[in-house]
Structure 1
Amino acid sequence: MVSMTHVPSGHISPAPVPPVPDPSGEEKENRSAALIVVAFPAFILIGAIVAFMFPATFAPLTNYINLFLTIIMFTMGLTLTVPDFQMVLKRPLPVFIGVVAQFVIMPGLAVLVAKMMGLNPALAVGLLMLGSVPGGTSSNVIAFLCRGDVALSVTMTSVSTMVSPIMTPILMLLLSGTATEVDGAGMAWSLVQTVLLPVVIGLTLRVFLSRWINRIMPVLPWLSILGIGGVVFGAVANNAERLLSVGLIVFAAVIVHNVLGYVLGYYTGRLFRFSEPVNRTMAVEIGTQSAGLASGMAGRFFSPEAALPGAVAAVVHNITGAIYTAIVRNRPVEPVAVPEKVAVG
């Protein structure tokens, strides 16, 4: 996942915030966060176009999917701290509701959208994989920019990531249908290796080597972006010919799935009468998935074509996040404390 110090796509950890925010510092932080939100999809989009035009050059990247996924999740782990998980005890209801809603709404929407749009089995299972993976790489930055509850965003991303080795295979087994064979045990073990272990190792290093890790924190988001690029560019190269025939329907399906996730996520918060910052965070966390992980896992366990929804989502999710930020950022919210940590998971 994309990560960084108080200058945001992984996780973002700022320096201690003074009691009275420095307007110039806040403005600088906003610009840094906005740069990540713009640079990430731009890099993925440009790289995907090049991979589409020169597929032979990028196709070998698929041999290193596990390595790329490990890099993404390890950088996320390096940006986590123990207090990120303490909110589960301090504010259990919004964390619990948010994570449960994410693993209910997005897989359910994936099945619904696939049926409504008549997706073929490969694209349908790829969209389901996208809906069944944990929170996305830029969700915490988007939550920060749209004036959401950043601490909640960090915790939701962390918790959904830690439980994904259990939840993702179960959802794929239950919802993929009889036409698609799912290796649930293999998928669970793969997620343990490429998600859980790298995150735990990264978190452990952060605890014991925090001073050194803090020095390299600004580099971590870019390492994560490169890892996501490796997954996406390989998927595009392997599907260059298929994209000519299914590209538009894949983009449409991913956009509808993503936007509906934002809407239902926001109104889930409203249903439980949470504050406006929490509602915005629910929208972002539920609507934004770990696209690189989805693409890599779908390509590995199903087919190259199944990796396309995740590859497309790596661009779409960040663009819709930027649009959502532009729509809601200047709307009033209740006063909230200055966030102690921003993280992109």
Structure 2
Amino acid sequence: MRALAALSRFVGNTFALWVLLFAVLAYFVPQAFLPLSIAIVPLLGLVMFGMGLTLKFEDFAEVARHPWRVLLGVVAHFVIMPGVAWLLCQLLRLPPEIAVGVILVGCCPSGTASNVMTWLSRGDLALSVAIAAVTTLLAPLLTPALIWLLASAWLPVSFGALFWSILQVVLLPIVLGLVAQRLLGARVRHLVDALPLVSVASIVIIIAAVVAASQAKIAESGLLIMAVVVLHNGFGFLLGYATGKLFGLPLPQRKSLALEVGMQNSGLGAALASAHFSPLAAVPSALFSVWHNLSGSLLATIFRRMKDESDKPAN
């Protein structure tokens, strides 16, 4: 069991590498990964169940201690990322399927990888976990509402269908995970050690399946989509950090806001796009998953070296 936990930690710490490796493999050998498409939704549900196993009711204590900080992070996340996505689609005049895919990933809740990056950056981990948890719990309502509001100009959007999909693959598995943790206690704790391995494997398979299904479209439009993804993620980091600074938050909280705003649950985006739109609409989420893990790691390294103003010695 100790060896499994060590392997799980290693795979979790090298998440970006595995995503990149298998995305490249799926691009060059798509036929090997196409059959995995049927597993996208179940695998995402498994990841969310694992999140439920790791969440504790104490994680929400940050909401009670500093409600306005959590509220600021949640509002910033659901305003900045969808807003930037919509603006990029308008300015760059993206084709409908790509535009919907970009907006879709922008409307997703915060990704769990942001918590890891916050920890690496010496940010406020409690705030990061609280924002990620609250945005995820609000996703069944806010994500389809925002997609319907912003993306309907490009393609028909069904609020009801998106709502039920997110309810089934996000909220229900998380609740089941919380219940299992509450009822079984120590008997499920050994499973938590293996969760990074399960989560990484699941996300890697989802991304590989999306890339394989869209290989021809990526070859045609991949550079454009990648440019949009880089801009979207970069503005998310920048505006998230600026929001924290504008509201006078200390450096650790500014780091958390930057990472929570800029990093998305792109696995959810890929699953929703594949189920409700088209393989091409899932490509922005797939590329976002590859890129935000690389950019998030780089930003965490930069943040880690930053010193808070309060740490400076007095003259």
Q: TM-score, normalised by structure 2?
A: 0.93
The equivalent of 1:22 in structure 2 is none
1:217 maps to 2:204: no
Per-residue deviation, residues 83-116 of structure 1 (Å, max 9, x unmatched) = 1112211110000010011001000000111222
Q: Distance in 2 between matches of 1:96 and 1:81?
A: 19
State which of 245, 262, 267 in structure 1 corresponds to 2:242: 267
Matching residue within 200, 209, 213 for 1:234: 209
Say if 1:98 and 1:282, in contact at 8 Å, map to a contact too.
yes
2:225, 2:235 → 1: CA distance? 15
Does the 8 Å CA contact 1:146/1:326 hold for their aligned counterparts? yes
Among candidates 170, 184, 195, match of residue 159 of structure 2: 184
Q: Which residue of 2 aligns with 1:25?
A: none
Q: Which residue of 2 aligns with 1:81?
A: 56
Matched, 1:69 2:18: no
User: Which of residues 302, 323, 334 is equivalent to 2:277?
Assistant: 302
Structure 2 counterpart of 1:193, from 168, 173, 197:
168
With over 3 angstroms needed to count, the CA separation of the structure-2 counterparts of 1:179 and 1:127, relative to structure 1, is: closer
Aligned residue for 2:144? 169
Unaligned stretches of 5+ in structure 1?
1-5, 10-31, 337-345
| Kept after mapping to 1: 8 A contact 2:103/2:147 | yes
In 2, are the aligned partners of 1:95 and 1:155 still within 8 Å (CA)? Answer: yes
Structure 1 residue 117: Cα displacement? 2.5
- C-alpha displacement at 1:267, in angstroms? 0.9
Q: What is the CA deviation profile of residues 225-272 of structure 1, one whole-angstrom value per residue up to 9, with x for unaligned ones?
A: 111122111111111111111111111111110010000000111111
- Aligned position for 2:84: 109
Higher helix fraction: Structure 1 or Structure 2?
2
Residue identity matched to 1:297: L
Distance, in Å, in 2 between the alignment partners of 1:68 and 1:327 is 33
CA distance in 2, matches of 1:8, 1:43: 13
Q: Which amino acid aligns with 2:306?
A: R
- CA root-mean-square deviation: 1.9
Residues 126 and 307, structure 1, Cα contact 8 Å, conserved in 2: yes
Q: Which amino acid aligns with 1:201?
A: L
**Aligned partners of 2:149, 2:276: CA distance in 1, in Å?**
16
Percent same amino acid among aligned pairs?
38
Q: CA deviation at 1:334?
A: 6.6
Report what 2:182 is aligned to.
Answer: 207
Matched letter for residue 95 of structure 2: N
Give the drift of 1:82: 0.6
The one-letter code sitting in structure 2 at the alignment partner of 1:48 is A
State how far apart, in whole Å, the 1-side matches of 2:191 and 2:262 are.
30
Offset at residue 118 of structure 1 (A):
2.7
Unmatched tracts of structure 2, length 5 or more: none
